[in-house]
Structure 1
């Protein structure tokens, strides 16, 4: 793949999302690169990008807006990810006439910040609430649905446990392979305690995290992929896990999609915690599916999208 956009130049040229800035050549090149362009859709959809400042970061946000949207999907990507990897989920939402709003988290994608790093998971909550403010300014239609993959799921979980029935997003909450604990967490904690004072980061290990044979080569060639795992992020995760596992129960009932071949998160433990923390969470287990469900094989996506269609009452 040849790079046709310059990430820093693209971000620097963006205005606030509320300005509805026409797509620049850089923005259009970005969308073409990740398959996010909407010009070929049967029903008209407007799409543009913006920039907003949150907690010392310059974050890039994205919106897709049908002519008469009936709901809004807030999309929260996973660790190492960015919005550009979520075309299948975005297209599914647009097919149901939902507006879609999302942003690249600090240190990810087109947003500023040390790559894939965060000092405290509370920073992610500040970002999510800022995204709610953006949606409010744009008068995006309700109900507001939440959707998070992996660490994005953790961000949604944190929000639901903290705000529950007081959240501005009172639609459905969709969790794809949500993170509570990663796989092998006991050993990871020991390694972190031994080496975190001396090592600032480790080289990232890319793995086959879907059954799609084309996805890993795409990740390896993706110019927005972080190449290091910062130890400070692991420390922030450790503190977050303790807080979440001690959090009081919520009356919300999220929709959880989980693959039984997921080698990234400790999904059996995580599902147990989620059953304890939420009122009647609905779990759809996907046989042979791996971790990055947003980019699993088409037949697997069809199965979990059918489950979501039924639960959301859409055709």
Structure 2
């Protein structure tokens, strides 16, 4: 593993994504640290755009002769650089990739791992799609979301009036309700008057031991607390999204049956009611961080996605 990079130096050097063609030394160190430099891309950019009061770090990769684009939304506590497997697969499929760090995550600004309301995520996603247009990324734009990123994609599909430029939606371990939803709401209401954040409890949410070790001990961009503000935003969002009208879209869903983070049985039932015959790949014993599960699981779901996208 390369030596640690300086996150503050990378952030200070970010330029608007449209003008970020040259790679600075601190950006190269960042890519090397996470293995992003090993991705087979013809062109790479790291920059920012402004949205919802945040400075959002955004990256783009182009393969040779791209035929579509994957817009990638990472999960809670995550950041773009943890998604090399998904980016590598997308590039191999001939897709350009546009990925951004959510507010309060990775290289983006904002209180760490917090948000005022889930509606802010929609503003950021729509601004990212504007960037995709300005960069002339090829359509269709397929949306990919892991966990909270999946929640943002679900929200956009159900409330954002997506146009013909949006292709398929891919949801990995999508968040609607977290596991122990009733207890989460009770705990939030009890703690809210007294506590603004609680220490993060790291879990083994993947069978990939190297990934878990890196996440728990070596990733300098990992938030160390759970803000109650984010929990409150989720609690307000869930009943709103569950009350939305049905969409004719049919997303692709990959879900592990060993997921101890989200209430996946409820969530799959809810998504089946909200979308037109979503296609679901259930993986026995797979855990929550599907994008970084063990190789055997990755082989199965990438084969599934490739088959579905080529139909």
- TM-score band w.r.t. shorter chain: over 0.9
Aligned pairs (5 A) from 1:83-102: 83-102=80-99
Unmatched runs of 5 consecutive residues or more in structure 1: none
Equivalent in the alignment of 1:160: 157
Do the aligned partners of 2:80 and 2:100 also contact (CA within 8 Å) in 1?
yes
Equivalent in the alignment of 2:309: 312
Which consecutive aligned stretches of 4+ in structure 1 deviate over 4 angstroms post-superposition?
none
Do the aligned partners of 1:38 and 1:47 also contact (CA within 8 Å) in 2?
no
TM-score (norm 2): 0.97
Aligned pairs (5 A) from 1:1-315: 3-38=3-38, 41=40, 44-164=41-161, 166-167=162-163, 169-220=165-216, 221-313=218-310
Give the stretch that moved more between structures: 205-214 or 19-28: 19-28
Do the aligned partners of 1:146 and 1:169 also contact (CA within 8 Å) in 2?
no
Unmatched runs of 5 consecutive residues or more in structure 2: none
How many residue pairs match? The answer is 310
Instruction: Quote the Cα distance in structure 1 between the aligned partners of 2:62 and 2:28.
Output: 16
Do the aligned partners of 1:160 and 1:167 also contact (CA within 8 Å) in 2?
no
Instruction: Quote the Cα distance in structure 1 between the aligned partners of 2:109 and 2:300.
Output: 36
Q: CA deviation at 1:48?
A: 1.5
Q: RMSD value over aligned CA atoms? A: 1.3
Do the aligned partners of 1:93 and 1:100 also contact (CA within 8 Å) in 2?
yes
Q: CA deviation at 1:312?
A: 0.4
Q: CA deviation at 1:67?
A: 2.6
Q: Residue deviations 1:268-291, cap 9 Å, x none?
A: 000000001001100000111000
